A and B are shown apart, each in its own frame.
Chain A
């Protein structure tokens, strides 16, 4: 008798579970699909502001402190700099002027190696290096993925600052007479 009861129970549970499954999936026919139709939809604008996309370096405010280079765990940042005259840049983080003594002549990031961890962005004192929300960086040649952020204008500026430093060194020091 138990076997017969089990037999009917199995049929009953089979029908009920199928009906439950049907009910759940039927509701889905009337819901909006969640597909984002990329690339017709602009995904980049929907990303949050903290999104860690491809790096960008603002060379105007970079003081070449090399903190980003040393904190990168994969060593994908390479910086060369030269010493020049002292100037001041406005830090984006503190809002205060920061002295700049060294001028980068080479600032390369290999974004093929970069793992977008954000460890270089944190110690930057001026906020020069930061993540953008750009994620579409495909190129056909992998060597194009080494981004050089130093522009010809930065190189020219660095050379000017070096000359200015030499001029300042040779100029007689102004002696401030106590009044």
Chain B
């Protein structure tokens, strides 16, 4: 196998600039890359962002705290619950409210369902960019089932607006536990079948192993988070290292990349980590349903939220890594500043330095393996 990712190539002057424009055949959203290539090998791929900027952070200064919650859905519409959760935790930190235990469990259940949904998109679009379309459709079929479960819980399939400051909006509907548990049964069989279809396929491994390995030091230097960081071998997961909600009471593993088919931190590692994280989420969901207590779903929060002046930063482990909210309050009903820190932003940044000396088809594979979603990059 040619070690293309680390080749030292001298380029002549007849390189051309190709624009991988915002209209993209793949589904990572509106991203743009200015690639300098001589037709075969890429010399540099400069990302251009901002095509999906919706000024969400500015809107945070114009609506009140409760009203901003639907906007946090749009920060990462592929896995919206974690975005809701992060914002709620930050404002609760400012207010100093206690969230009842049942609400915490409900939040974790919603989070993990969302993590499964988001990882299904990630592991689905990656083979599609490599050329196999069938795994994508199968993954989306399962995601539809997760969407239907969440729809039964909160009424919407994509932009949930489920978490409230101080708790959650709805309690579990009747018969929900049996629905989710039967889904998890069939889902585990699906993941095994999916592995058999594509994860151990020789062509797939040949295309992705040894491609653009990211070393531990490089990952930390560029600020990667989430599965990208763990695929490079760094054992950092906010659910274990800075635990929040009910994660201290749950038992689960954090999959780490080991370079099993190639080098440490290559594209295949990033892919197989996500498959393993899906299995861990299934475990977590089962434990949540065993342990969830009875009780109120909403803490004591005033109707018009006016936190005392101050600032707070909390982060949750979203599907793409650390999703952090920094809220500055000046004592009024509207925030003074909301800053959102997402994991895809750093992933976009590292693409430029990794793109030297790879083929164009590999550039696509690299972007897909880093699981960059445009709404997180641009907000």
Contact = CB atoms under 8 A, between A and B. Distances in A.
Interface of A: 10, 13-14, 16-18, 20-21, 23-25, 34, 47-48, 50-52, 71-73, 115-119, 122-123, 131
10 contacts: A18-B202, A20-B196, A21-B201, A34-B144, A50-B155, A50-B170, A115-B70, A115-B159, A117-B161, A119-B161
B134 A25 contact: yes
B124 to A, nearest CB: 15
Of all A-B residue pairs in the complex, the 6 with the closest CB atoms, nearest first, are A73-B67, A117-B70, A50-B155, A52-B155, A17-B201, A48-B152
A44 to B, nearest CB: 13
Interface string B188-212: 0000010011101111000000000
A46 to B, nearest CB: 9
Contacts of A18: 201-202
Contact of B156 (A23, A24, A52): A52
Contact of B196 (A14, A24, A48, A118): A24
A159 to B, nearest CB: 33
B287 interface: no
B345 interface: no
A73 B65 CA distance: 10
Interface of B: 63-64, 66-71, 134, 141, 144, 151-156, 159, 161, 169-170, 173, 193, 196-198, 200-203, 303
A73 B202 contact: no
A116 B154 CA distance: 12
Contacts of B152: 48, 50
B67 to A, nearest CB: 3
B197 A118 contact: no
B173 A119 contact: no
Contacts of B151: 47-48, 50-51
Nearest to B194: A24
A103 to B, nearest CB: 24
Contacts of B155: 48, 50-52, 118, 131
Contacts of B196: 20-21, 23-24
A122 B169 contact: yes
A118 B203 CA distance: 47
Given A50-B154, A73-B71, A118 B202 contact: no
Contact of A21 (B66, B156, B159, B197): B197
A171 to B, nearest CB: 37
A179 B70 CA distance: 60
Given A17-B203, A34-B144, A72-B67, 19 more contacts: A13-B202, A14-B202, A17-B201, A17-B202, A20-B197, A20-B200, A21-B197, A23-B196, A25-B134, A47-B151, A48-B151, A50-B153, A50-B155, A50-B173, A52-B155, A52-B156, A117-B159, A119-B161, A131-B155
Contacts of A34: 141, 144
A116 B153 CA distance: 15
Nearest to A133: B155
A118 B161 contact: yes
A109 B67 CA distance: 17
Contacts of A20: 196-197, 200-201
A73 B303 CA distance: 15
Contacts of A47: 151
A51 to B, nearest CB: 5
Nearest to B204: A17
A34 B41 CA distance: 42
A25 B197 contact: yes
